[in-house]
Homo-oligomer: A and B are copies of this chain.
Amino acid sequence: MIKVTLLEHTPNPERVVAMAARLCYSPSGAEELKEKMSDEQIEKLVKKLAEMGHASTFEHVSFTFGIEGISRVLTHQLVRHRLASYSQQSQRYVAAHDFEYIVPPSIAEKPEAKAKFEELMKTIREAYDEFTELGVPKEDARYVLANATETKIVVTMNARSLMHFFNLRCCNRAQWEIRALAYKMLAEVKKVAPLLFKNAGASCVQTGACPEGNMTCGKFNEMIRMREE
């Protein structure tokens, strides 16, 4: 079960974004703008920026998440997002004797497959224990651990990088586990910056266009059809 906690974030994120955007076109300085802009002005400006996707000002606010209950299948994909910061639980230093693991739904729903999966995890745990008893260091015993093994990670992304992450990973074509994570992260940031992330989500949701060509899930075409009816 994926657990996502928004540990910290830049305070007043929408005020910061609006102030930075306004500064570019104003003779006034940042501090003055930050104090003087009314809530209405901020709302109007952030909405406009979010709609237009003028994203560079979104970089001024960042969000730090604690994430647990995910597999290393997920984190190997996650850390490919390079405009982000990560601190991950190390299999080199943290013993994995009774590791938890993630069962894919397509396996969990088939009793035969599920039993096989759990038996295999038990076998791996036993092998891991035997290796460490034989004097194999943790950093090498982990070579037998499965992709399914649970891991924990701290992730920091700014709002621009998050928007891009949601574009790719809330998409129906994204792998199911990282998609589930993306939706949980999106729910968290919407609580603290609802205007900023109002249109955030898969590319089709945010930009009105699907970049997946003939591999599209069809959701986009459905959206267009619904709009036209």
Residues of A bordering B, CB below 8 Å: 3, 5, 7-12, 16, 19-21, 23-27, 29-31, 34, 51-54, 56-57, 59-62, 64, 66-68, 71-73, 75-76, 79-80, 82-83, 85-95, 101-107, 110, 112-113, 116-117, 120, 123-124, 127, 130-131, 134-137, 139-140, 142-148, 152-154, 156, 158, 175, 207-209, 211-213
A94 to B135, CA, bound (A): 35
Residues of B within 8 A of A57 (CB): 87
Interchain CB contact (< 8 A) of A137 among B54, B94, B106: B106
Question: Are B11 and A136 in contact (CB-based, < 8 A)?
Answer: no
Given that A107-B136, A145-B147 are contacting pairs, would A60 and B87 also be in contact in the complex, using a CB cutoff of 8 Å? yes
Residues of chain B within 8 A of A142, CB atoms compared: 73, 147
Determine whether the beta carbon of B139 is less than 8 Å from that of A175.
yes
A102 CB contacts on chain B under 8 angstroms: 143
**Known interface pairs A9-B10, A107-B140, A211-B52. Does A88 touch B131 (Cβ–Cβ under 8 Å)?**
no
- The answer to whether A88 and B24 have CB atoms under 8 Å apart is yes
Q: Is the CB of B93 within 8 A of A24?
A: yes
A72–B66 contact, CB under 8 A?
A: no
Q: Which residue in B21, B23, B51, B68 is a CB contact (below 8 Å) of A152?
A: B23
Q: Mostly helix, strand, loop or mixed at chain A's interface?
A: mixed
Q: Given contact pairs A62-B156, A124-B146, enumerate 13 new A-B contacts (beta carbons under 8 Å).
A: A9-B10, A10-B64, A20-B154, A52-B212, A60-B85, A60-B87, A73-B143, A75-B76, A92-B175, A102-B143, A104-B140, A117-B131, A207-B209
| Cβ contact within 8 Å between B7 and A16 | yes
A83 nearest in chain B by CB position: B82
Taking a contact as CB atoms under 8 Å apart, the answer to whether B85 and A112 are in contact is no
Contacting residues, chain B, for A110 (C-beta < 8 A)? 134-136
CB distance from A161 to the nearest CB of B (A): 10
List of B residues within 8 angstroms of A59 by Cβ: 85, 156
The distance in angstroms between the C-alpha atoms of A210 and B83, with both chains bound, is: 25
CB distance from A65 to the nearest CB of B (A): 8
